[in-house]
Structure 1
Amino acid sequence: MSPRPERSARTGRSRSGPRRPPARPQATARNAELLAKFETLTPNIEPRRFTDLITVPELLMGVDDRRFEQTTPVQSAVFDTVAAGHDLVACAETGTGKTAAFLLPLMQRLLRANAEREGSARILVLAPTRELAVQIEDDVQGFGYHTSMRCAAVFGGVGMDGQEQALKAGVDVVVATPGRLMDHLRAGIAAFTGLDVLVLDEADRMLDMGFWPDVKFIVSQLPPGRPRQTLLFSATMPEEVMGFALEIMQSPRLVQLGIRNAPATTITHKAELLGRHEKTAWLSRFLRRAPGPTLVFSSTKRGADRLARDLQSQGIRAAALHADRTQADRLRAVEGFKSGTHRVLVATDIAARGLDIDAIETVVNFEVPFNREGYVHRVGRAGRAGSTGTAITLVSPDERHDMEEIADAFGLVLFEDAHAELVEAGEAIDGALPPVETASVAAERPRRPRTRRPRASEPAATPAVADVASEATSSPQESETTDTAADTPAEDGTGDAARKRRRRRRRRSGPKSDETVEGDGSPPEATGNGSDESGEP
């Protein structure tokens, strides 16, 4: 069976680029009605020592290996509820340690039971992306290093044979993306007759990515008569997620930590007003001064590749991460970023989901996110587990309204010091920024001059013409940092005025040979804007 491609979020077109899906309301009457059906717990978020919570020596050794000493708020809040076997919905900010919050109590319960494998996994974890699935598998293997527990990750982009062998051999924990697990279920490879626990991790993201029908199908294939604990973890709580949780859970508890659907309070938010073609130059200069690892978000896969190449050409160690890259390339990019081989990781929203790297200090949005929830998920890659971080959004004139809506929703004050850092450092991008209200979107693409090799019959170039040729072959980087080169009248030898001057010089000098071209005595001219007729560089 051929690998099934992972599906991505649906996008559209609008007047100025990708359509931005409308953000879900923060609270509605339907939300309140659904929330009332949960048993809402008052969370105890006081730090607790893992030596007081973990009683299985082998599991505690794995926790010590990972230098876990005290619980985070979400771990303190849900540990006892998960360990007791209750169904639970936990809503918390990203980067707060949700994975360990459900893995450690579940693994301890299985180890205490000391049950033999029944040829079926005991715990099934569904995750929206390959990266998150690999991260959870790594956590299971790390915590359970000194135990006999085994785990298998099942995701698309790679062959099914190795996954099939692992599933048939028997494992305790299966971590899977919905699409690939459906392939195994339909092929009769995966069976969960002995399943004790179902975990839906980052459920809101699975909904956004279009995996919700797959999730419902997978749940429908689980044994109906066997008691099962169901856990759902999410950064936000859309109505669809809450409604489904009520359908599949028994007397579910609800734990909410912090403000729902809001960035972590430890993150500093900034915005830079830039023309679209200024963003790469600004980012390059910023990265040369930024000391730590930086995660850059691009809204498109092609944009991520292009930006990574541009940064590499300027000596910045960068790698791209998106769904079209092979699984091996994606793993190399993530591992290189973790190890420091790459200082910059340029990623799309879907691919970066599940990145759990504590060292990320700065997140840069190369384009404004599609909606408020997208902004929360992006900036949540920084400031994880209570550490501080910085989120910078590069805003072009046509994106300003969208960014202001996001800022207003979270009470952020932006745009006051736009462009200030580079100006203070004496590194302002050449050319003054046009006013936001009157900036021309059509003028934002830099144009590349086109040069022509002189014919043998042409007269020797005068100093003025030589200067023209020199300017026409200037470096692309210099042309990219000029704000209005494509709009201003050409005074450097590439416009109508320059062509007239060249014709007058040739007429005054007269014919040089019998090979003069018929007509006005001048050779064919290049187009005045220095580009192809299509206007593409």
Structure 2
Amino acid sequence: MGLPATMEDPIQVIDKKSKKSKKAKKSKKEKKDKTSETASKPVTEALTETVEEVEIKEKKVKKDKKDKKKSKEDKKKRTHDDTTDGTPASTDASSSGGRVVEMMTKKAKTESSGGAGRDFYKLASTLENATQAEIKAYRQERTMALENVPVDIRPIRTWDEASDSVDAKLLSYCRQFPSPTPIQAQAWPVCLRGLDMVGVARTGSGKTVAFGVPSMVHIAAQPKLGQRPADRGPIVLVVAPTRELACQINEVYVELGAKVGVKSVCIYGGVPKYEQKNMLKGGAHVIVATPGRLLGLMDEGDLSLKRVSYLILDEADRMLDMGFEPDMRRIVEAIPTANNRQTVMFSATWPKEIRELAGEFMKNPAKVTIGSDDLQATTSVTQVVEVIDRNEKDKKLTALMKKHHNGKNRILIFVLYKKEAPRVERFLQQKGYKCGAVHGDLNQYQRTEAVDKFKDAKQPILVATDVCARGLDIPDVEVVINYSFPLTVEDYVHRIGRTGRGTKSGHAHTFFTINDKTLAGPLCDVLREAGSEVPDALTAFGYAPTKKKEHAMYGAHFKKDDDMPTKAAVKMRFD
């Protein structure tokens, strides 16, 4: 049966469709290839351009480096021509000194700045124009020794030279003194730069003002205190070993704070906590504290150190002697590292233990030493050592009182044991002298009252144990009498340091008996270093080296040598 004329053969239809489909696919493929070829051309060109640009940039960088290197060499050559061994080569010393400082300032500030918002040091024009020789002579005259102190930091020789860095109101407090003491002159610019610092200076050298004024400048640059417990402060924390020293430091801060609206609170043990807690509730910029009470209030949640950015450890060597090292570590650990803390440490000596502590607590600290790292008596005190029989002490004391006391001048008498203090006090009162005492058997109120009466000269004679041997800053103590020799020569030096403070002179008279003979040799050394007379009766005891005490609680016990082998402990049992 044939197909109608209008209908096509199905096989032919399928062939046509197949051919048409193949043709369409071929056309589509050709169009795609063409598009791809067109698109790839600009990409290739763009890539070529990028490579060329990179080559140009590399050439430019190499050229810049070359120019920079050449510029640095030229600058170095000019600096070498201008200076020789750190001193100006030009005959115009004043002009050259200024150029040297100007060249060194930028580099020193970049390398040694204490951090953002902490550099308040501005070099006075008189210091900028001073020659290196003048600055060197000033330091040598005041026996200053510096380590790790930037070259552009120069000592502030007059109060006017600090006027660009320190508030005029703070300086008005300082102007009651004729000029900065050596430790103040060099510590101020170091602390104002924002650097960590170790200050080694004898007692009575003006250390409180040395760290107090720069810390006040630091406070002024910080955000204001807030109402939340963590925002109430303190910003500055001062830690001191004894209640007496803490109170005296706080007195200076109260006077300075009154000038610029800064609140200071003193916290210490021996008195009820509730009064100190109430003072803390209102917030404080500065807290001066002894370690034990400080940690106690922290543990009870009444005090936070989250705002502290300026830490001062005063008489650090004394705190180690008294066994406060674990407490000091806890205090430092409680200050957030994010605060970028500035730490200032003062010590009368620079033993290995203090060096290790500074290495742990401080960042690349500058060190300022006035005098010697070793403990030595000041030359402003006339020292007299009298070798006597111990039964002669009362008789000799009576003779000294007649010789040195005029009824008004202050005399400080040191005894060794707290039971001795009230006995000597009663002995002198029976002789008609106005006398008080401070010792460990008295509560804090009684101790404070006795010290205040001594300061006011209501009781111009004070008998004290070594609890007052360091830190007491009482002006115009004319005479110190060592009724009993202390357990160490270190304590002897700190005792006699209560007189001859600042620029004043003083007198120290010491009773030495056969019971003290093991300390005869070291005492002779101290007397010779100070240029004092060494009695023949003292040298007759010979030289018996003694070791320093580690802890005040146990007296002069032996300190373990680093290279000395230790014997293992043996456990003993008792049946």
Q: Specify the TM-score bucket, using the shorter chain as the normaliser.
A: 0.5 to 0.7
1:397 match:
514
Report deviation, 1:45: 5.8
* Alignment partners' CA distance in 1, 2:473 and 2:520: 26
CA contact (8 A) 1:50 1:70 kept: no
* Alignment partners' CA distance in 2, 1:281 and 1:40: 53
Alignment CA distance shift 1:222-1:55 (3 Å): closer
Matched residue SS, 1:78: helix
Alignment CA distance shift 1:142-1:418 (3 Å): farther
TM-score (norm 1): 0.67
* Alignment partners' CA distance in 2, 1:336 and 1:290: 20
1:48 pairs with 151, 154, 158, which one?
Answer: 158
1:244 pairs with 332, 346, 357, which one?
Answer: 357
* Counterpart residue identity of residue 158, structure 2: R
* Alignment partners' CA distance in 2, 1:55 and 1:200: 22
* Alignment partners' CA distance in 2, 1:265 and 1:143: 31
* Alignment partners' CA distance in 2, 1:388 and 1:69: 17
* Alignment partners' CA distance in 1, 2:353 and 2:432: 46
* Alignment partners' CA distance in 2, 1:393 and 1:285: 13
Residue by residue over 1:515-535, the C-alpha shift from the partner in whole angstroms, topping out at 9 and shown as x without a partner, is xxxxxxxxxxxxxxxxxxxxx
Which of 310-319 and 403-412 deviates more? 403-412
1:59 match:
170
Report deviation, 1:134: 0.4
CA contact (8 A) 2:295 2:331 kept: yes
Report deviation, 1:274: 1.7
2:393 pairs with 279, 299, 315, which one?
Answer: 279
* Alignment partners' CA distance in 2, 1:60 and 1:408: 40
1:525 match:
none
Report deviation, 1:94: 1.1
1:363 pairs with 456, 480, 491, which one?
Answer: 480
CA contact (8 A) 2:527 2:534 kept: no
2:177 pairs with 57, 61, 68, which one?
Answer: 68
Larger Rg: 2
* Correspondence 1:95 to 2:214: no
Matched residue SS, 1:311: helix
Give me the CA root mean square deviation. 2.5
Alignment CA distance shift 1:108-1:69 (3 Å): farther
Matched residue SS, 1:386: coil
| Unpaired stretches in structure 2, ≥5 consecutive residues | 1-145, 542-575
1:257 match:
370
* Alignment partners' CA distance in 2, 1:69 and 1:144: 21
* Alignment partners' CA distance in 2, 1:315 and 1:304: 17
CA contact (8 A) 1:407 1:414 kept: no
CA contact (8 A) 2:198 2:344 kept: yes
2:39 match:
none
Alignment CA distance shift 1:162-1:149 (3 Å): same
Matched residue SS, 1:241: helix
Alignment CA distance shift 1:119-1:113 (3 Å): closer
* Alignment partners' CA distance in 2, 1:124 and 1:69: 29
Which of 136-145 and 399-408 deviates more? 399-408
Matched residue SS, 1:361: strand
Sequence identity, in percent? 35
* Alignment partners' CA distance in 2, 1:59 and 1:204: 29
CA contact (8 A) 2:233 2:286 kept: no
Report deviation, 1:332: 1.1
CA contact (8 A) 2:234 2:284 kept: yes
CA contact (8 A) 1:371 1:406 kept: no
CA contact (8 A) 1:271 1:418 kept: no
Which of 259-268 and 148-157 deviates more? 259-268
Which of 280-289 and 159-168 deviates more? 280-289
Count of residues in Structure 1 that have an aligned counterpart in Structure 2:
384
With CA pairs under 8 Å and 6+ residues apart, which has the higher RCO, 1 or 2?
Answer: 1
1:39-438 matched pairs, under 5 angstroms: 39=148, 47-49=157-159, 52-53=162-163, 55-64=166-175, 67-113=176-222, 115-117=224-226, 118-260=231-373, 261-291=375-405, 292-411=409-528, 414=533, 416=535
Residue by residue over 1:399-427, the C-alpha shift from the partner in whole angstroms, topping out at 9 and shown as x without a partner, is 244234322255265453889xxxxxxxx
Larger relative helix fraction: 2
* Alignment partners' CA distance in 2, 1:108 and 1:230: 15
| Unpaired stretches in structure 1, ≥5 consecutive residues | 1-36, 420-435, 438-537
* Alignment partners' CA distance in 2, 1:57 and 1:415: 48
TM-score (norm 2): 0.63
Residue by residue over 1:128-161, the C-alpha shift from the partner in whole angstroms, topping out at 9 and shown as x without a partner, is 0000110011001112223211011010010000
* Alignment partners' CA distance in 2, 1:333 and 1:377: 20
